């Protein structure tokens, strides 16, 4: 598979998981009939193929990296703020779904223009920085060490809790591996890194993220696996779905049918699975209905060419 197809797959996979999961967003496990298709609806009454804040923030991050051709946290926050205030890069033209931690960070940015506005409070360890991560990794994929380091900085703009930072670091390592065509067995082996010995030199400080990296998602099943907004549960649920499936579609349905924060569980799963299975591994009937699909493809290709240049 050409690497550029994995790039397109990762960004389209994020949006697909987001759009699929919004139908079940905020619904408790066991309170709904599982879905098997892209049907829209949900708490924001979206059309099939429309997506939520996960994809909007990812597109803002992609746009910043492409236009700045560098990592500029202030520019990233400015674009997130533009999304909040004007609906920039929204699937509906307005901001209709935003997490409290992101909202708090953007309010701080409005007042201070600081580069890193994310709360370090462990109680603010939501999944809002892993849900949008892949553009950052697409940009730095040919420099794995920098990809992992910048993933941490990407989290700090809105989510400064150590658990969020380490979740982004570990997920960045997985995304680099998936983009480079690493097998699923190797990718999901204990403490995978594209850089040999990396976690020994720069360990995961969060014990909960280290437990996921060690393979907790292989040993658990629902209700221990939960698709909640807590970054630990969100990442573990996405990897559980990836581990227990053999196709993008099968895994994405496993992820979103956990309910709760289903759009973000789908988005986190979709980034990794999209990079692994590639663009054509995502069902055509789902891809073709995505809002702003052409722009996503352009952004993915732009990030690929910038990564190759660097």
Binding residues: 52-54, 261, 263-264
CB neighbours of residue 49 within 10 Å: 21
Rg over alpha carbons for the chain, rounded to the nearest Å, is 17
- Give the SS3 label for residue 27: strand
* Distance of alpha carbon 250 from alpha carbon 252, whole angstroms: 6
Burial degree of 113 (CB within 10 A; 0-12, 13-18, 19+): exposed
Opening angle at CA 177, ends 154 and 232, nearest 5 = 50
DSSP secondary structure code for residue 97 in this structure:
-
215 φ, ψ to 5°?
115, 25
Bridge partners of 41, per DSSP, are 46
Buried b (16+ CB within 10 A) or exposed e, 258-293: bbbbbbbbbbbbbbbbbbbbbbebbbeebbebbbbe
Per-position DSSP letters for 247-283, written without gaps between them: SHHHHHHHHHTT-BSHHHHHHHHHHHHHHHH-GGGS-
- Is the separation of the CB atoms in 29 and 222 below 8 Å? yes
Please report, in range form, the residues annotated as the binding site for Mg(2+): 52-54, 261, 263-264
Contact (Cβ atoms closer than 8 angstroms) between residue 213 and residue 192 = yes
For residue 241 the two structure tokens come to 């779905």
Residue with tokens 């996960």, as numbered in its chain? 54
Block residue for tokens 């609806």: 41
Concatenate the DSSP letters of all residues of 284-307 into one string: HHHHTT-TTHHHHHHHHHHHHHHH
């Amino acid at each position: 598979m050409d690497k550029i197809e994995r790039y397109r797959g990762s960004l389209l996979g994020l949006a697909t998981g987001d759009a699929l999961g919004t139908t079940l967003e905020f619904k408790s496990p066991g309170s709904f009939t599982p879905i098997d298709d892209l049907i829209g609806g949900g708490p924001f009454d979206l059309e099939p193929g429309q997506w939520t804040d996960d994809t909007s923030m990812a597109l803002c991050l992609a746009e910043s990296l492409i236009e700045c051709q560098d990592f500029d946290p202030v520019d990233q926050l400015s674009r997130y703020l533009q999304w909040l205030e004007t609906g920039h890069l929204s699937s509906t033209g307005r901001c209709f779904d935003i997490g409290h931690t992101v909202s708090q960070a953007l309010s701080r940015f409005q007042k201070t223009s600081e580069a890193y506005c994310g709360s370090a409070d462990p109680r603010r360890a939501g999944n809002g920085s892993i849900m949008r991560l892949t553009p950052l990794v697409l940009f730095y994929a040919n420099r794995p060490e920098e990809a992992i380091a910048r993933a941490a900085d990407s989290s700090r703009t809105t989510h400064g809790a150590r658990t969020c930072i380490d979740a982004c670091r570990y997920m960045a390592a997985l995304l680099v591996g998936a983009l480079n065509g690493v097998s699923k067995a190797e990718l999901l082996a204990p403490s995978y890194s594209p850089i040999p010995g990396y976690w020994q030199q720069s360990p995961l400080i969060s014990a909960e993220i280290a437990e996921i990296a060690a393979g907790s998602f292989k040993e658990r099943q629902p209700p221990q696996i939960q698709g909640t907004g807590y970054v630990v549960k969100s990442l573990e649920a996405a990897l559980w779905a990836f581990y227990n499936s053999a196709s993008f579609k099968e895994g994405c349905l496993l992820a979103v049918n956990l309910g709760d924060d289903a759009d973000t569980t789908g988005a986190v799963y979709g980034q990794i699975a999209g990079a692994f299975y590639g663009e054509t591994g995502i069902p055509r009937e789902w891809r073709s209905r995505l809002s702003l699909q052409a722009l996503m493809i352009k952004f993915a290709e732009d990030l690929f060419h910038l990564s190759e240049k660097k």
